[in-house]
Amino acid sequence: MFYYSIKRLLMLIPVLLGMTLIVFAIIHAIPGNPALTILGTKATPEAIHSLNRSLGLDNPWYVQYFSYLKDILSGNLGTSIQTNSPISSEIWPHLAATIELSFVAMIIAVFVGINAGIISAWKQNSFLDYTAMILALIGVSMPVFWLGLLEQWGFSIKLQWLPSIGRDDIRNSVDPITNLYLIDTLLRGRLDQFWMVIRHLILPAIALATIPTAIIARMTRSSMLEVLKSDYIRTAKAKGQRMIWIVYKYALKNAFIPILTVIGLQTGLLLGGAILTETIFGWPGVGLYIYNAIQYRDYPVIQSGILVIAFIFVMVNFIVDLLYGLFDPRIKYR
Amino acid sequence: MSEAILKVEGLKTSFFTDDGEIPAVDGIDFSVNEGEILGIVGESGCGKSVTSLSIMGLLPSPPGKIVGGHIFYKGEDISHAKESKMRKLRGNDIAMIFQEPMTSLNPVFTIGEQLMEAIRLHNHLSKKALTERAVELLKLVGLPRAKELLKEYPHELSGGMRQRVMIAMAMSCNPKVLIADEPTTALDVTIQAQILDLMIKLNRETHTAIIMITHDLGVVAQMCNRVVVMYAGKVVEEGLVKDIFNHPKHPYTEGLIQSIPDLYGKKDYLHTIKGSVPKPGSIHKGCLFAPRCEFVMDKCRVNTPELLGDSHKSRCFLHQEKA
Euclidean distance between CA atoms B75 and A253, whole angstroms:
40
Average pLDDT over residues A153-181: 85
State the smallest CA–CA distance between residue B278 and chain A in angstroms.
27
pLDDT at A76 over 60: yes
For A324, name the nearest residue in chain B, comparing CA atoms only.
B108
State the smallest CA–CA distance between residue B120 and chain A in angstroms.
10
pLDDT at A189 over 70: yes
Q: Residues near B290 by Cβ (< 8 Å), separated by ≥ 6?
A: B296, B300, B301
Nearest to B92 among A230, A232, A240 (CB): A240
Per DSSP, what are the bridge partners of residue B211? B38, B179
CATH dotted code for B4-85+179-189+212-322? 3.40.50.300
| A254 to B92: CB separation less than 8 angstroms, yes or no | no
- For the CA atoms of A138, A140, A141, A144, the dihedral, rounded to the nearest 10 degrees, stands at 100
pLDDT tens-digit readout, A17-58: 888 888 788 777 777 777 777 777 787 888 888 888 887 777
Q: Reduce the DSSP state of residue B109 to 3 states and report it.
A: coil
DSSP assignment of B200-262, as one string? HHHHHHH--EEEEEES-HHHHHHH-SEEEEEETTEEEEEEEHHHHHHS--SHHHHHHHHTSPP
| A253 to B109: CB separation less than 8 angstroms, yes or no | yes
pLDDT at B1: 45
| B98 to A235: CB separation less than 8 angstroms, yes or no | yes
Euclidean distance between CA atoms B66 and B54, whole angstroms:
7
Nearest to B155 among A230, A242, A330 (CB): A330
pLDDT at B2: 57
Q: What is the ipTM of this complex?
A: 0.83
For B97, name the nearest residue in chain A, comparing CA atoms only.
A235
pLDDT at A131: 92
pLDDT in tens, chain B (323 residues): 457 888 888 888 888 888 888 888 888 888 898 889 999 988 877 888 889 889 988 888 778 888 888 899 888 888 888 888 888 888 888 999 888 888 899 999 999 999 998 898 888 888 898 999 999 889 888 888 888 999 999 999 988 888 889 888 888 888 889 998 888 877 788 888 888 888 888 888 888 899 999 888 888 888 898 999 988 888 888 889 888 888 888 888 888 888 777 777 666 777 788 887 777 767 667 888 888 888 888 888 888 888 887 888 888 888 777 76
For B118, name the nearest residue in chain A, comparing CA atoms only.
A239
| B104 to A241: CB separation less than 8 angstroms, yes or no | no
| A254 to B108: CB separation less than 8 angstroms, yes or no | yes
Dmax (CA) for chain A in angstroms is: 85
A247: which chain B residues are within 8 Å (Cβ-Cβ)?
Answer: none
pLDDT at A219 over 90: yes
pLDDT tens-digit readout, A89-144: 888 899 999 999 999 999 999 999 999 999 999 988 889 999 999 999 998 888 88
Residue spans of the domains in chain A: they are: 2-73, 91-327
For B171, name the nearest residue in chain A, comparing CA atoms only.
A239
State the smallest CA–CA distance between residue B54 and chain A in angstroms.
12
Query: Which CATH number fits the domain A91-327, given the four candidates 1.10.3720.10, 1.10.490.10, 3.30.43.10, 3.40.50.12780?
Result: 1.10.3720.10
Euclidean distance between CA atoms A100 and A271, whole angstroms:
9
pLDDT tens-digit readout, A288-316: 898 888 888 787 788 788 888 888 888 88
Distances (CA, A) of A197 to A91, A110, A168, A202, B300: 20, 21, 6, 9, 83
DSSP assignment of B252-318, as one string? HHHHHHHTSPPSSS---PPP--SS-PPPTTS--SS-TTGGG-TT--GGGGTSPPP-B-SSSEE--HH
pLDDT at A39: 77
Q: Which residues of B touch A (CB under 8 A)?
A: 56, 58, 87-92, 95-96, 98, 100, 103-109, 117-118, 121-122, 153, 155, 166, 169-170
| B109 to A231: CB separation less than 8 angstroms, yes or no | no
Burial A97-118 (b: 16+ CB within 10 A, else e): bbbbbbbbbbebbbebbbebbb
Share of chain A above pLDDT 70, in %: 99
Nearest to A254 among B91, B92, B107 (CB): B107
